[in-house]
Amino acid sequence: MGILLNAAYLMMVEGKRQPFMGKVLQLGRQSVLFPYSSLQRLADHAQFQLTDIGLITDDQNLTDIQFFTSLGFTEVKSLEYGTSENADYVWDMNDIVPPTWKESFDFIYDGGTIEHIFHIPNVMTNICGMLKVGGRVVHDGGISGMIDHGFYSIQPTFYHDFYTANEFKTDLFTVSKLSLQTWLSHTGEQTAYVPGMYDYHKTWANEQDAIYVGVCFATKMKPFERMVIPQQSIWARGSK
């Protein structure tokens, strides 16, 4: 799993709206797929002030800890199913996490992890439970065009309807179109997501030279007791 420039840019947009602080948990320890010079260029463009992380050369890729620290977090943790990534927490997210982890994190980063976990309801219950009230979660994952990449290709409507039903506040929600030629070196074309904006009859297949990812930031507004199962809103209101 890796953090692209596109995700880094949107993190800075959100961080400028409401500064990051406290303890972040990565679902899957992330690799940073760009050099520090690219991060600084994006920060200048977004008018985002990076936190000083000490001596680092422009062409050097950041570690996950350096990246999240540069955004303003003071403690960076990671969770993995196995031990190969030297994560801070080892847990199978198909199972409900220990109650001692409840409301432990100010921010949870899902950089394309949950589609690889079979029991999505338990994953979402874990995320909602581990976040502090007022804490934020971001999901950054592929929407289409990646056959067998994971168990699922999670659509934007899933995040919108789930977090609406569970009374989270959606802060920033985009569909990003990334060129296959430049997706490692550039950000993508951003479209603000609104349920029902796409005609699925016309989007069975997307362009061969691009991939699409959904990026959703949501804030936990009250204590989470149990998951509310959503209905898909675009069908419930008969818009399609």
Tens of pLDDT, residues 104-127: 999 999 999 999 999 999 999 999
Q: Which CATH number fits domain 2-236: 3.40.50.150, 3.90.1260.10, 1.10.3720.10, 3.40.366.10?
A: 3.40.50.150
Confidence of residue 240 (pLDDT cuts 50, 70, 90): very low
The mean pLDDT of 95-103, rounded to a whole number, is 97
> Does the structure show a pLDDT above 70 at 206?
no
The mean pLDDT of 184-195, rounded to a whole number, is 90
Interacting residues of 33 by C-beta distance below 8 A, sequence separation 6+: 2, 3, 4, 5, 61, 184
Amino acid (one-letter) located at 147: I
Give the global pTM. 0.93
Interacting residues of 29 by C-beta distance below 8 A, sequence separation 6+: 1, 64, 78, 80, 85, 86, 87
**How many helical (H) and strand (E) elements, i.e. helices and strands, does the chain have?**
6, 10
70 contacts 40 by C-beta, under 8 angstroms: no
Measured in whole angstroms, the distance separating CA 227 from the mean position of its chain's CA atoms is: 20
Structure tokens at 83: 């031990």
Q: pLDDT of 24-53, one tens digit each?
A: 999 999 999 999 999 999 999 999 999 998
Q: Which phi and psi angles does 102 have, rounded to 5°?
A: -60, 135
